[in-house]
Structure 1
């Protein structure tokens, strides 16, 4: 096969999901020559009352980044729902005490919203439009190989179409199973939770009032996120991190039985918090893992997004962490000294240091909460509920939690 070599770019971003598209735009805004490598699968046109099964809770810090990139105002407002309150509920103790409860609200942080719920598909759509308008070169082929030359040469990326694309720095934004990360020799430490995230959209009998609810149950962590109303009434998006065996049994049921079984479980788990809940979309399941990379940069390759870290979805912070990576990398490279090239190891160490604390903190919180609320011993359940109730009565501590949840305390 004949190989063609493109003109050299400063940075080549591998991966065309939300993190990769945002990274390409953010780096291009720093005056860098940026290329994008990865497929561009067609996106279905938006339809009223039909929503992407994958949704994200975007923090104020992520919203600000998207606004800076000119993305936020391009999103259809009718498909975004703000989160003004969060309710976190513990399990029901065996001796009849009430479940623990912790309520958090945006006013405690002095902001309008704690987060905004947006569809993955709509975020990708407007990011793609912005990339097209920006003139970033998008090579719609797959990455297949990496060649790292001398320090002065940068890197060469081989594509499935036979091209050899040269750049000073390659950014791996190609997901948890990143091929570029593997080719660069950067290791990833992964452990499975033995749980499956089951997602579906639900019709609700009662309005959600822009409140996100989370239950820590004996059958895993259940979250209901507010979504735009449909013609049939209120709607929420469910993410239930349940034991893998239970999820497999549920997903194996025929469609009508699957919906009835889930609705019965929801009624028991939520105690009728939103009235009757009914399944209104297909169910999907994905395995839950914890993954992190001890090193984020090596030999002209830097990691961000899921290629760099994967956390439990119970805090809803996966994409927010990835967008924090994007902002940090753009700031480091955009603020470099004039004599440094973008692949200077000192710059990449600055990026690693900037992300070390936020990544470690989020990994510790999500993993710790998963194991704490996964313990089934009655005394542990009592302590969990007592702890939630205690925090609920401490305004200063609640304000600190709200700031952390919304990203208003420290912004990556």
Structure 2
């Protein structure tokens, strides 16, 4: 006779963003019985020349994972742009010397591309379709309560509408303010940056040539990412990590004045690198923070994606880290010994160990770069510009940087 415990679903994934959808799909592909809990908000239909304001730079490792899940080929190719090179520039040092510069290219890693720029909405749309085709049960609701079920019955997750889901293991993929993480008592360390990420799409006067450009300026860290051309011409996506006060002042301006001010500041910061830049979409801002949970898994709850960590977007690795979490968790649970249940603490420790080094390394690198390039003192300004120049002259170190960016 089958016991009640053995008939439980293996995993309940809480969260229906990209990380949650990818986790549900990856775990189901490993043969686990998966349920998904979270709202199913409607996605607007795609429109030509209208792009989601939130885009991601997917690493080769993330692309490979999505390809294994059958997701990559389903994405609309005409809305994806490859990044072959990166042009990174420092600021003007107090001495008046030229800004430091570092160039990275895909050929240094022996690959065609360093990354691919993909819209958040299109990635989510394809993941939703794959989840639906996989027959994963999706409860369109929100988490209200969480507790261990009695008599070895796994975990019980109660929803706002009064439903109860049971599973052996719960995956928290419900974002930086994860309710499941909080209910499970998993601590989080959060350090807000005095900075806001401002995003917008821009018309560019010159072709981007599949190059991602980044400037470390006195007004923060500016990145321009290559996007598909539109009927208006060339297009790039801007992510500008600005000091909070400057961002607030910009975002509070009337729309016409806002565009004029931003375009003037872009002309100064980029020195015409991509020609005239014109605003083509509404400006949006989001607060930036460094956040991590010391425990990634405990007592039947596992953290992935933003529920586990946040890093500064200057390296564009946030989603790549989240997809790396999903890949590691699927590998650990899918490759477990036959006698181990999915909530075995040994398995959860394996997952935590697998993610500890890449997460710590990315946290240290992004936080260190943010503070290095955020320091206004002249000696520090000279050091960071000189550092870019030195790295640019060392092919081995450049190759290590490129290879490091390819993984998650």
Please state which band the TM-score falls in when normalised by the shorter chain: over 0.9
Cα deviation per residue 1:294-348 (whole Å; 9 max; x = unaligned)?
Answer: 0011221110000000000000000000000000000000000000000000000
For residues 133-144 of structure 1, the aligned pairs below 5 Å read: 133-144=133-144
For residues 55-70 of structure 1, the aligned pairs below 5 Å read: 55-70=55-70
Cα deviation per residue 1:262-320 (whole Å; 9 max; x = unaligned)?
Answer: 00000001111001100000000000000000001122111000000000000000000
Structure 2, unaligned runs of 5 or more: 1-6
Q: In the alignment, what sits opposite 2:192?
A: 192
Cα deviation per residue 1:49-90 (whole Å; 9 max; x = unaligned)?
Answer: 000000000000000000000000000000000000001100
Q: Does 1:72 align with 2:72?
A: yes
Q: In the alignment, what sits opposite 1:396?
A: 396
Structure 1, unaligned runs of 5 or more: 1-6
TM, length-normalised to structure 2: 0.97
* Cα deviation, residue 94, structure 1: 2.7
Q: Does 1:39 align with 2:39?
A: yes
1-structure distance, mates of 2:358, 2:149:
32
Q: In the alignment, what sits opposite 1:179?
A: 179
Q: In the alignment, what sits opposite 2:279?
A: 279
Contact conserved, 2:192 with 2:289, CA < 8 A, in 1? yes
RMSD: 0.9
Judged with a 3 Å threshold, the aligned counterparts in structure 2 of structure 1 residues 389 and 151 are, in CA distance, closer, same or farther, namely: farther
Question: How many residue pairs get matched?
Answer: 402
Q: In the alignment, what sits opposite 2:4?
A: none
| 2:387 match: secondary structure | helix
Q: In the alignment, what sits opposite 2:313?
A: 313
Q: Does 1:323 align with 2:294?
A: no
Q: Does 1:102 align with 2:102?
A: yes
1-structure distance, mates of 2:348, 2:94:
52
Cα deviation per residue 1:144-191 (whole Å; 9 max; x = unaligned)?
Answer: 100113683210000011111000000000000000000000011001
2-structure distance, mates of 1:299, 1:155:
10
1-structure distance, mates of 2:395, 2:157:
53
* Worse-superposed segment, 376-385 or 52-61: 376-385
2-structure distance, mates of 1:64, 1:46:
25
Contact conserved, 1:197 with 1:287, CA < 8 A, in 2? yes
| 1:376 match: secondary structure | coil
2-structure distance, mates of 1:267, 1:367:
27
| 1:103 match: secondary structure | strand
Contact conserved, 2:94 with 2:382, CA < 8 A, in 1? no
Judged with a 3 Å threshold, the aligned counterparts in structure 2 of structure 1 residues 259 and 151 are, in CA distance, closer, same or farther, namely: farther
